[in-house]
Chain A
């Protein structure tokens, strides 16, 4: 079977959940005075649910363009890490595939692709297939919501709010490798929960992601050092070892 079709199939559960949210979100955008054309442009060009939600909340004339840019930067900072984590999937691929493929990366198809990659490898087409399905579902649902208005039922009534969490938790489970993951995962979860209370936007995701992964690096450095010395900052050690590797 073609990889992109497999990617679409693997993302069906998440596309259902994205549609339910897209519908509600579309209604909200209509109420805030966002036109269907503006909504469509956002769906196709930005394709990032939580950042779009933030923009819509700020959508009052005169539009605060720079503030919106800043808010979206904060909310979408996690994509820098998500992009970095896709390096093994795009490894050795031509630049045009990276340039085109990366636009279609959402949380959902990223998570599905990474899980598939861990259990036997995958390719950018799998990611892109999932992205196309999600983009279609998301755009259709938001535009319908925007045009139809308040005729959409609350997703919470059908437990759809929970579907996203359930699927992501299941995907996390398939990313578990061995006991070496335990401490980094605990640190990530702890930092994310704390960061959610303290940091603006979705920065807590970046905080948990970086903190957890750095913990893994520190553990490895301590393990490979014969004489455990005073642990320096993780970035110092990263730089040191990078120099060694280059030599």
Chain B
């Protein structure tokens, strides 16, 4: 039976968990100190869109041609239905179908 925590594991987990939590809470507390109007506000308002895009675009490009086609289909479905579950299902089925048709 292997031991539950090997040497250094507790320290490593506590350190990395502490860093992660400090970043999460620190960002919020820093933003609380920014002015509510003017450029700082504009910066915060724009941040969600630009972060989300930065998270998504590189991944979409890695998915290749079928990714781009699937993404287009998903966006169309989401635009018509505003339903995330449906969008995800369509994306999965579309990509599966594409892989099955062209890469078998």
CA distance A237 to B43 in the complex (A): 12
Q: Which secondary structure characterizes the binding site on chain A?
A: helix
Within 8 A of A (CB), among B24-59: 24-32, 34-35, 37-40, 42-59
Within 8 A of A (CB), among B54-77: 54-61, 63, 67, 70-71, 74-75
Q: Tell me the nearest residue of chain A to B61, going by C-beta.
A: A193
Number of residue pairs across A and B with beta carbons under 8 Å?
299
B28 and A55: CB pair below 8 A?
Answer: no
A83 and B40: CB pair below 8 A?
Answer: no
Within 8 A of A (CB), among B63-104: 63, 67, 70-71, 74-75, 78-79, 82, 84-85, 87-88, 90-96, 99
Within 8 A of B (CB), among A95-128: 98-99, 102-103, 105, 107, 111-112, 114, 118
A169 and B75: CB pair below 8 A?
Answer: yes
Q: Which of B8, B15, B51, B99 has the most CB of A within 10 A?
A: B51
B37 and A171: CB pair below 8 A?
Answer: no
Choose among A37, A158, A170, A212 the residue that contacts B50 (Cβ–Cβ < 8 A). Answer: A212
Whole-angstrom distance between the Cβ of B61 and the nearest chain A Cβ: 7
Within 8 A of A (CB), among B1-18: 2-17
Given A79-B20, A83-B25, do A162 and B58 touch, yes or no (CB 8 Å)? no
B7 and A63: CB pair below 8 A?
Answer: yes
B8 and A76: CB pair below 8 A?
Answer: no
Whole-angstrom distance between the Cβ of B98 and the nearest chain A Cβ: 9
CA distance A57 to B69 in the complex (A): 33
Count of interface residues, chain B, beta-carbon cutoff 8 Å? 76
B92 and A81: CB pair below 8 A?
Answer: no
Q: Name 20 interchain pairs, CB-CB below 8 A, sorted by A.
A: A16-B88, A33-B2, A38-B5, A38-B9, A65-B11, A72-B16, A80-B27, A85-B51, A87-B32, A163-B88, A166-B87, A166-B92, A185-B49, A185-B53, A205-B54, A207-B54, A217-B42, A217-B46, A242-B40, A245-B35
Ranked 6 nearest A-B pairs via Cβ:
A83-B27, A208-B54, A212-B50, A166-B91, A192-B54, A45-B17
Q: Could you list which residues of chain A lie within 8 angstroms of chain B, going by C-beta atoms?
A: 10, 12-13, 16-17, 33, 35-38, 41-42, 45-48, 51, 55, 61-63, 65-66, 68-69, 72-73, 76-88, 90, 98-99, 102-103, 105, 107, 111-112, 114, 118, 157-177, 181, 184-185, 187-189, 191-193, 195-196, 204-214, 216-217, 220-221, 237-238, 241-242, 244-246
